[in-house]
Amino acid sequence: MTTTTHKGLTSSNTAADTASTDAAPVVRAVLYSRISKDTEGLGLGVERQREELHRLAAARGWHVVADLADNDISASSGKRRPAYEQAMALVDRREVDVLAVWAVDRLVRRLRDLEDVIDRTEASGSAAGVRIVTCQGDLDLSSPAGRMQARILASVARNESEQKGLRQRLQQRQAAQSGRPPARRAFGYLPGGRDLNEPEAGAIRECAKRLLAGASLTSLADYLNGEGLTTSLGRPWERTAVRAMLLNARLAGIRTLRGEVVGKGTWPPVLPEEDWHAVRALLLTPGRTTSGGTTARKWVGGTLYRCGRCRAPMRTGTRAGASGNADPTAARIYLCDATGSKHLTRRADEVDAYVLAVVEARLAEPDVAALLPAESPDVAGLRREAADLRERRDGLGEAFADGLLTAAQVKTASDRLSARLAEVEERLAQASQAGGLSYVLAAECPPVAFRSAALGIQRAVIDTLMTVVLLPGRSGSRGFDPETVRLDWKG
């Protein structure tokens, strides 16, 4: 009995298969699943999607040609999806009749992907179309109504993906606000970002000290390379890398997100916050070039030199039509158009070379130490004030969150504090330059210190020693005439 029944069932199954094969063509299906972060949370891992797709295939009697899955954790990133491409290749070759997915957003991540799917599944010529079937229902992409439905489903999926992006940004912000160190290792820290890498941290402190004393970024890069240290990516140091490294707020234990301060970090700072702000102010001082080398030096005297016709500060510019000139430095000029017309222009390189040479010669004389400014600005006081202003500005957000201030009040107060902070930072930058001045003047060999100093320091030294007045060049005369640059010595 049992055997017969069993045999009967078996034979009837076989008969049914054979019958369906004979009666209707086998429907060939490719199953496609995709795991992404958003579905993981819903318990929609690849296994779950696959299970449901196989159940669907069994229920409809499809012959499963392929069961493909992509691990696609970041949905909208546009990363390649090999399994998707494989599935679409089966579609292109019409080796399948059905493309089955759990939901339309598993198949397409963006609306324009859907248009691609529509094109490739459409019936054309003798080739029949490929049906899209989801666990939620069939999509008939051959009809306008079906395509509209698919587009709506894909739009909804895209919206969810965008919402997910928003959620992720909020999570990142939360992580930042909780003060956790960023994932990427920073120079000065051990992996994980919680502990200092002492040799690197020590080198950073030395760099900050030297920079505030007037050293150039190039000389700092040389110093770091000389210490056998590399960037966090293992590359040798260059001045741009040194600059970026020193500008990183992380060194001061400040947590930022996309350049914006979000709070205090929970990791140890390499530099006291006020020192870092001094470094930052110095690096961001307008007119400062990142080069200490003479070859890459730009205008030494922009806004520092005076016009011999009207005493206005000289502007910098380029001589029109000078491109293609064999000597590219000939294009760089100082110009004055304070009276409305351009009434004075001078080639920048020859004026600068002359001024620098005169200053160097002056610094070689034995009395230079006497040139040090008598009173130095109250740097500590300025730094305290800057810290106070920053704290007050940071406190505004809390006051707003607590409902103590309106958004407009926060904006007004924040603008006022920011303006004052900019002033204090400017004075701190000037103070760092004064520090640079004493670095040059008190150096063992002032002319050498001057030559290797950063542009801002050189300008400060020039400004301490003299007023440079540019007179009109002598027309007709070839070459540079020192008589056309008047140096009014100060003191």
Which residues of this protein are in contact with Zn ion, per CB under 5 A?
307, 309-310, 312, 336, 338
DSSP 72: -
DSSP 70: E
Specify which residues 63 forms β-bridges with: 28
Specify which residues 31 forms β-bridges with: 67, 100
3-class SS of residue 460: helix
Q: Which is nearer to Zn ion, 152 or 310 (CB)?
A: 310
Q: Which is nearer to Zn ion, 62 or 305 (CB)?
A: 305
Q: Residue 163 belongs to what H/E stretch?
A: helix 144-177
Q: Which is nearer to Zn ion, 372 or 471 (CB)?
A: 471
Least distance in Å: CB of 317 to Zn ion? 13
Q: Please, what's the b/e burial string for 58-92 (b: 16 or more CB within 10 A of its CB; e: otherwise)?
A: eeeebebbebbbbebeebeeeeebebbeebbebbe
Q: Which is nearer to Zn ion, 305 or 450 (CB)?
A: 305
Q: Which is nearer to Zn ion, 271 or 307 (CB)?
A: 307
Q: Which is nearer to Zn ion, 211 or 336 (CB)?
A: 336
DSSP 77: G
Tabulate helix, strand, coil % of the chain (nearest 5).
50, 15, 35
Least distance in Å: CB of 335 to Zn ion? 9
Distance CA 236, CA 221 (A): 8
Least distance in Å: CB of 312 to Zn ion? 5
Name the token pair of 49: 């999607």
Least distance in Å: CB of 473 to Zn ion? 14
Report the residue closest to Zn ion, judged by CB: 307
Least distance in Å: CB of 320 to Zn ion? 19
Given a contact cutoff of 8 angstroms between Cβ atoms, the answer to whether 433 and 457 are in contact is yes
Q: Which is nearer to Zn ion, 50 or 309 (CB)?
A: 309
- Please spell the DSSP secondary structure of 7-60, one letter per residue: HHHHHHHHHHHHHHHHHS---EEEEEEEE-HHHHHTT--HHHHHHHHHHHHHHH
Q: Which is nearer to Zn ion, 332 or 346 (CB)?
A: 346
Q: Which residues, including other chains, have CB under 8 Å from residue 255's CB and lie 6 or more apart?
A: 176, 177, 179, 180, 181, 182, 249, 261, 262, 263, 264, 265
Distances (CA, A) of 304 to 312, 377, 390: 10, 21, 31
Name the token pair of 12: 């009837």
Q: Which is nearer to Zn ion, 312 or 330 (CB)?
A: 312
Q: Which residues, including other chains, have CB under 8 Å from residue 330's CB and lie 6 or more apart?
A: 319, 322, 347, 349
Given a contact cutoff of 8 angstroms between Cβ atoms, the answer to whether 132 and 88 are in contact is no
Least distance in Å: CB of 337 to Zn ion? 7
Least distance in Å: CB of 308 to Zn ion? 8
